[in-house]
Amino acid sequence: MTEQMSKASRSKKRPAVPARSGKPGPERAIAEALFSPKDKKPYYFNGKPLLNLQELVDYLVAFTGEEGLWVASWLEYLGDREVAERIRENPIDFKHIVRERYDELKAVVESAPTPT
């Protein structure tokens, strides 16, 4: 049953919310909060401070299933309540959820116009 739930959570894709005329959309705000956190404390993993979503993804291979709920709390602290809730619902699948969210938000960051 856990495997079925895991597969079901993987198949749930949420479309990215496009930015509205001149105003960043909610996905853009979350992407900024996770890729460039302002005034937020890092997540410490084996003594190494992970400062943002990119660094978290870079170290995911070293995580065990034990850290899923801690990661969820940190991501919520940074501003992503939605992904934190998804991890809490299925903590065994937290690496996949984090990587999926990373890919989703990275696309938002890369498609954003650069300031002039």
d(CA 53, CA 75): 8
Q: Where are the domains of the chain?
A: 51-111
The pLDDT value recorded for residue 116 is: 59
The pLDDT value recorded for residue 97 is: 98
In the predicted model, what is the mean pLDDT of residues 21-45?
86
Spacing of C-alpha 63 from chain mean position: 15
The pLDDT value recorded for residue 115 is: 63
Listed range (21-30, 86-95, 96-105) with the worst mean pLDDT? 21-30
pLDDT, one tens digit per residue, over 38-62 is: 999 999 999 999 999 999 999 999 9
| Strand pairing report for 43-45 and 48-50 | antiparallel
Instruction: Tell me the pTM.
Output: 0.74
Cβ 51 vs Cβ 77: under 8 Å? no
